[in-house]
A and B are shown apart, each in its own frame.
Chain A
Amino acid sequence: MFNQSLPPEVLGPIKVIFFQECDELLSSLESGLEALKQGSADPEIVNMVFRAVHSIKGSAANFEYVRLARFSHSLEAVLSDLRAEKLGASAALLEDLLLASDVLAELVEEARGGKATDSGKTDEVLKILAGYIGRQAGEAGSQRSPQAEGKEGGDLRAWRIDFRPEASLYRSANDPLLLFRELSRLGELKLELDDGDIPGLAELEPDQAYLSWTGLLRSFQPEQAIWDVFEFVAGDCHLNITPSMTGGLKEPSQKAGHAGSDIAPSADARSNRVIRVDLDRVDKLFNLVEELLVQQTTFNHVAGKRLAPEVQPVYAEFRRLSKEIQEGLLAIRSQPLKPVFQRMARLVRQLEQATGKSVNFAATGGDAEVDRSVLERLAEPLTHLIRNAIDHGLENPEEREGLGKPASGTITLSAYQRFGRIVLEISDDGRGIDRERILSTAISRGLVGPDEHLSGQDVESLIFRPGFSTAPTVSEISGRGVGMDVVNKCVRALGGRISMNSQKGVGTTFLLSLPLTLALLEGIVVGAGGGRFIVPIASLRETLQLRAGDIRSIGDVKVIRYRDRYIPLVGLAAILGYPQMGGIQNSIGIVVEDDLGTRIAIAVEEVFEQQQIVVKEIQGAYQADHGVSAATVLGDGHVALILDINGIVERQKQSAECVRVYGKTSDERISL
Chain B
Amino acid sequence: MSDQAPAGEFLVFRIQGQEFCLEIGAVREIRSATKAVPLPNAPVEFKGVINLRGTVLPIVDMASRLGLAVVSAPTNPVIIVAESGERLVGLEVDIVDDIISVRQAEIQSIPTIPTGGIQEFVCGIVNISNRLICLLAVDRLLPAEKAAAE
Binding site for B on A (CB under 8 A): 287, 290-291, 294-295, 531, 575-578, 616-623, 626-628, 630-633, 637-641
Which of B2-10, B17-25, B48-56, B93-101 has 4 or more CB atoms under 8 Å from chain A?
A: B48-56
Q: Determine whether the beta carbon of A578 is less than 8 Å from that of B38.
A: yes
Complexed CA–CA distance, A651 and B87 (Å): 29
Q: Which residue of A lies closest to B141 (CB)?
A: A620
Q: Which residues of the other chain, B, contact A294 by a CB distance below 8 angstroms?
A: 51, 53-54
Binding site for A on B (CB under 8 A): 37-42, 46, 49-51, 53-58, 87-89, 142-144, 147
Q: Which residues of the other chain, B, contact A633 by a CB distance below 8 angstroms?
A: 51, 54, 56
Q: Determine whether the beta carbon of A290 is less than 8 Å from that of B58.
A: no
Q: Determine whether the beta carbon of B58 is less than 8 Å from that of A626.
A: no
Q: Determine whether the beta carbon of B40 is less than 8 Å from that of A575.
A: yes
- With A631-B56, A637-B51, A639-B49 as contacts: A619 and B40 at CB distance below 8 Å: no
Q: Determine whether the beta carbon of A638 is less than 8 Å from that of B37.
A: yes
Q: Which residue of A lies closest to B89 (CB)?
A: A620
Q: Which residues of the other chain, B, contact A626 by a CB distance below 8 angstroms?
A: 39-42
Q: Determine whether the beta carbon of A620 is less than 8 Å from that of B42.
A: no
Q: Which residues of the other chain, A, contact B87 by a CB distance below 8 angstroms?
A: 619-621
CB distance from B145 to the nearest CB of A (A): 9
Complexed CA–CA distance, A641 and B144 (Å): 18
Q: Determine whether the beta carbon of A627 is less than 8 Å from that of B57.
A: no
Q: Which residues of the other chain, A, contact B56 by a CB distance below 8 angstroms?
A: 616-619, 630-633, 639
Q: Which residue of B lies closest to A576 (CB)?
A: B40
- With A287-B55, A616-B56 as contacts: A622 and B37 at CB distance below 8 Å: no
Q: Which residue of A lies closest to B59 (CB)?
A: A620
Complexed CA–CA distance, A160 and B40 (Å): 69
Q: Which residues of the other chain, A, contact B55 by a CB distance below 8 angstroms?
A: 287, 291, 616, 619
Q: Determine whether the beta carbon of A618 is less than 8 Å from that of B51.
A: no
- With A619-B87, A619-B89, A626-B41 as contacts: A295 and B54 at CB distance below 8 Å: yes
Q: Determine whether the beta carbon of A619 is less than 8 Å from that of B58.
A: yes
Q: Which residue of A lies closest to B50 (CB)?
A: A639
Q: Which residue of A lies closest to B84 (CB)?
A: A620
Q: Which residues of the other chain, B, contact A616 by a CB distance below 8 angstroms?
A: 54-56
Complexed CA–CA distance, A630 and B147 (Å): 17
CB distance from B85 to the nearest CB of A (A): 11
Q: Determine whether the beta carbon of B40 is less than 8 Å from that of A578.
A: yes
Identify the interface centre among B55, B88, B89, B143: most chain A CB within 10 Å of its CB: B55
Q: Which residues of the other chain, A, contact B58 by a CB distance below 8 angstroms?
A: 618-620, 622
Complexed CA–CA distance, A641 and B53 (Å): 16
Q: Determine whether the beta carbon of A641 is less than 8 Å from that of B42.
A: no
Q: Which residue of A lies closest to B34 (CB)?
A: A637
- With A627-B41, A641-B37, A641-B39 as contacts: A619 and B51 at CB distance below 8 Å: no
Complexed CA–CA distance, A631 and B59 (Å): 14
CB distance from B92 to the nearest CB of A (A): 14
CB distance from B125 to the nearest CB of A (A): 27
Q: Lowest 10 A-B CB distances belong to which pairs?
A: A291-B54, A576-B40, A621-B144, A620-B58, A631-B56, A626-B41, A616-B56, A639-B37, A294-B54, A633-B51
CB distance from B31 to the nearest CB of A (A): 14
Identify the interface centre among A291, A577, A623, A632: most chain B CB within 10 Å of its CB: A623
CB distance from A149 to the nearest CB of B (A): 42
- With A619-B58, A619-B89, A620-B144 as contacts: A638 and B51 at CB distance below 8 Å: yes
Q: Which residues of the other chain, A, contact B37 by a CB distance below 8 angstroms?
A: 531, 631, 638-641
- With A619-B88, A620-B144 as contacts: A291 and B39 at CB distance below 8 Å: no
Q: Which residue of A lies closest to B83 (CB)?
A: A619
CB distance from B55 to the nearest CB of A (A): 7
CB distance from B83 to the nearest CB of A (A): 10
Q: Determine whether the beta carbon of A577 is less than 8 Å from that of B41.
A: yes
Q: Which residues of the other chain, A, contact B40 by a CB distance below 8 angstroms?
A: 575-578, 626-628, 641
Complexed CA–CA distance, A378 and B39 (Å): 29
Q: Which residue of A lies closest to B36 (CB)?
A: A639
B51, B53, B54, B143: the one within 8 Å of A621 (CB): B143
CB distance from A197 to the nearest CB of B (A): 39
* A and B contact pairs by CB, cutoff 8 A, 14 listed: A576-B41, A619-B57, A620-B87, A621-B87, A622-B42, A622-B46, A622-B58, A626-B39, A627-B40, A627-B41, A628-B39, A631-B49, A631-B56, A641-B39
- With A577-B41, A639-B37 as contacts: A623 and B147 at CB distance below 8 Å: yes
Q: Which residue of B lies closest to A617 (CB)?
A: B56
CB distance from B149 to the nearest CB of A (A): 13
Q: Which residue of A lies closest to B57 (CB)?
A: A619
B46, B51, B89, B144: the one within 8 Å of A639 (CB): B51
Q: Which residues of the other chain, A, contact B88 by a CB distance below 8 angstroms?
A: 619-620
Complexed CA–CA distance, A291 and B144 (Å): 25
Q: Which residues of the other chain, A, contact B50 by a CB distance below 8 angstroms?
A: 639
Complexed CA–CA distance, A631 and B41 (Å): 15
Q: Which residue of B lies closest to A636 (CB)?
A: B51
Q: Which residue of B lies closest to A620 (CB)?
A: B58
Beyond contacts A622-B147, A633-B56: 12 other A-B pairs, Cβ-Cβ < 8 A, are A287-B54, A290-B54, A576-B40, A618-B39, A619-B58, A620-B144, A622-B42, A628-B39, A632-B56, A638-B51, A639-B49, A640-B37
CB distance from B43 to the nearest CB of A (A): 9
Q: Which residues of the other chain, B, contact A631 by a CB distance below 8 angstroms?
A: 37, 49, 56
Q: Which residues of the other chain, B, contact A641 by a CB distance below 8 angstroms?
A: 37, 39-40, 49
Complexed CA–CA distance, A295 and B55 (Å): 12
Q: Which residues of the other chain, A, contact B42 by a CB distance below 8 angstroms?
A: 622, 626
Q: Which residues of the other chain, A, contact B142 by a CB distance below 8 angstroms?
A: 620
Complexed CA–CA distance, A151 and B138 (Å): 57
Q: Which residue of A lies closest to B41 (CB)?
A: A626
Q: Which residues of the other chain, B, contact A577 by a CB distance below 8 angstroms?
A: 40-41
Q: Which residues of the other chain, B, contact A617 by a CB distance below 8 angstroms?
A: 56
Complexed CA–CA distance, A630 and B51 (Å): 13
Complexed CA–CA distance, A575 and B40 (Å): 8
CB distance from B28 to the nearest CB of A (A): 12
Q: Which residues of the other chain, B, contact A639 by a CB distance below 8 angstroms?
A: 37, 49-51, 56
Complexed CA–CA distance, A617 and B142 (Å): 15
- With A531-B37, A576-B41, A627-B41 as contacts: A618 and B49 at CB distance below 8 Å: yes
CB distance from A281 to the nearest CB of B (A): 13
Q: Which residues of the other chain, A, contact B89 by a CB distance below 8 angstroms?
A: 619-620
CB distance from A132 to the nearest CB of B (A): 47
Q: Which residues of the other chain, A, contact B49 by a CB distance below 8 angstroms?
A: 618, 631, 639, 641
Q: Determine whether the beta carbon of B39 is less than 8 Å from that of A622.
A: yes
Q: Which residues of the other chain, A, contact B38 by a CB distance below 8 angstroms?
A: 531, 578
Complexed CA–CA distance, A622 and B58 (Å): 8
Q: Which residue of B lies closest to A626 (CB)?
A: B41
Identify the interface centre among B50, B54, B58, B142: most chain A CB within 10 Å of its CB: B54
CB distance from B73 to the nearest CB of A (A): 19
Q: Which residue of B lies closest to A290 (CB)?
A: B54
